[in-house]
Structure 1
Amino acid sequence: MKATAWEFRLRYWIHLVIYVLGFTAPWDRWLHLDSIRTWQLMASWPARSKWLSFSNATIAVLAVGIVLALLAALLRTWGAAYMDASVVHHTAMHGEQVVADGPYRRVRNPLYDGMFLHTLALALLMPPSGAVFAIVLIGVFQLRLILAEEVFLTEKLGEPYRQYCSRVPRLLPALQPKIPGSGVQASWGMAFLSEIYMWGVFVSFAALGWRYNSMLILQGVIVSLGVSLVTRAFLPKMRVAAE
Structure 2
Amino acid sequence: MTTSTPTVVLVHGAFADAASWSGVITELQSHGIPVIAPPNPLRGLAADAAYVASVASQIEGPVVLVGHSYGGALITVAGTTENVVGLVYVAAYVLEEGESLGELQGRFPDSPLVSSLKQWTYPVADGDPAAEVTITAEAFPSVFAADVPADVTKVLAVAQRPLAAGAFTETASAAAWKTKPSWALVAGADQAINPEVERFGAKRAGATIVEFEGASHAVAVSQPAAVADLIRDAVRSVS
TM-score in same-fold range (> 0.5): no
How does the TM-score come out when normalised to structure 1?
Answer: 0.29
Q: Rg: which structure is higher?
A: 1
Return the structure number with greater strand share. 2
TM-score, normalised via structure 2 length: 0.29
